C-alpha cells in the first residue's frame, strides 16, 4: 500500500466518523467510496466506523464485472451503485451515501427537491431527483440511481436515503451536507404553504457563478 493510498483510506475513515458525529448519518447505515487509480476503495459492510483501520477498507477493481474485492472484510452491501457510478462517471472521484434524516424523509415520501433555493445549482440542474425504489444492494437500485444522477451530482433513493457524488472526497461530503440542508429547508417550507420555486433562468445564472465557486 502506497502512502498516497493509505492517506485516502484514512480520509475515508475520517469522513465516516465525522458524518456520524455530525448527525448526518447513523450507525453503519451509510457508506463512502473513493477512486484510487484503477481501484475503488469502499467502507466494509456492517463495521462500526470507530473500529475501522486503513487496512480494513475494501478495494474493488473499477473495470471488473463486480463482486471481486480484496481486504479482510467484505465491501459495503451497497458496493454496486458505488462501483457503477465510478464506472459511468469519469467526473466522479468519490461517492457518499447517507441515511440523513430530512433527505430520507423526502425519499420516503418519494418527493424530489425542486429549485427551492439557489444552492440546488450545485447539483448540476434545477432539481434533485428521487430515484425509483429497489431493494438495497441490487442491480435494479444501481440502475435507478444512475438514471436519477444523470446530469446531477446528487439524488434521493426512494424509501432509503441519499447519494452525493463529487470530484473529490471533500467535495462529495460537502455535497452530502448541502443535500441534507436543502432537504431540511424544503421540508420546512412545505409546512408553511410550500416554496416559491426559482426559475430555470435563475438557476442557470447561479450555475455560471458556481464555475468559480470555492468549496
Kindly report which listed range (21-30, 158-167, 178-187) carries the lowest average pLDDT score. Answer: 21-30
Please report the pLDDT score of residue 214 as a whole number: 55
Residue 195: pLDDT band with limits 50, 70, 90? very high
CA dist 43 and 65 (Å) reads 19
pLDDT at 185 over 90: yes
Q: What is the pLDDT of residues 130-150, one digit of tens each?
A: 999 999 999 999 999 999 999
CB 177 within 8 A of CB 19: no
Q: Kindly state the average pLDDT of the residues 37-52.
A: 94
Q: Which of 38, 53, 78, 205 is catalytic?
A: 78
pLDDT score, position 215: 46
Q: What is the pLDDT of residue 213?
A: 60
Q: Is 78 a catalytic residue?
A: yes
CA-CA-CA-CA torsion sign (63, 89, 147, 23):
positive
First CA to last CA distance, the chain = 29
Q: How many H-runs (helices) and E-runs (strands) does the chain carry? A: 6, 7
Is this structure's pTM higher than 0.85?
Answer: yes
> Do residues 112 and 129 touch, judged by C-beta distance below 8 A?
yes
Amino acid at each position: 500500500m502506497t502512502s498516497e493510498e493509505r492517506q485516502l483510506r484514512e480520509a475515508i475513515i475520517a469522513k465516516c466518523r465525522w458524518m456520524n458525529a455530525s448527525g448526518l448519518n447513523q450507525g453503519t447505515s451509510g457508506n463512502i467510496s473513493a477512486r484510487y487509480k484503477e481501484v475503488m476503495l469502499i467502507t466494509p459492510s456492517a463495521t462500526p466506523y470507530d473500529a475501522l483501520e486503513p487496512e480494513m477498507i475494501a478495494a474493488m477493481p473499477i473495470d471488473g464485472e463486480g463482486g471481486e474485492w480484496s481486504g479482510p472484510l467484505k465491501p459495503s452491501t451497497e458496493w454496486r451503485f458505488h462501483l457503477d457510478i465510478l464506472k459511468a462517471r469519469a467526473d466522479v472521484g468519490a461517492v457518499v451515501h447517507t441515511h440523513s434524516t430530512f433527505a430520507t424523509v423526502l425519499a420516503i415520501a418519494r418527493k424530489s427537491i425542486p429549485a427551492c433555493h439557489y444552492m440546488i445549482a450545485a447539483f448540476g440542474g434545477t432539481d434533485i431527483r428521487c430515484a425509483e425504489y429497489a431493494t438495497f444492494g441490487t442491480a435494479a437500485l444501481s440502475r435507478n440511481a444512475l438514471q436519477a444522477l444523470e446530469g446531477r451530482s446528487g439524488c434521493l433513493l426512494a424509501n432509503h436515503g441519499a447519494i452525493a457524488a463529487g470530484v473529490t472526497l471533500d467535495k462529495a461530503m460537502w455535497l452530502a451536507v448541502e443535500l441534507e440542508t436543502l432537504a431540511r429547508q424544503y421540508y420546512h417550507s412545505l409546512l408553511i404553504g410550500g416554496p416559491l420555486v426559482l426559475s430555470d433562468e435563475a438557476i442557470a445564472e447561479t450555475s455560471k457563478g458556481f464555475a468559480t465557486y470555492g468549496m
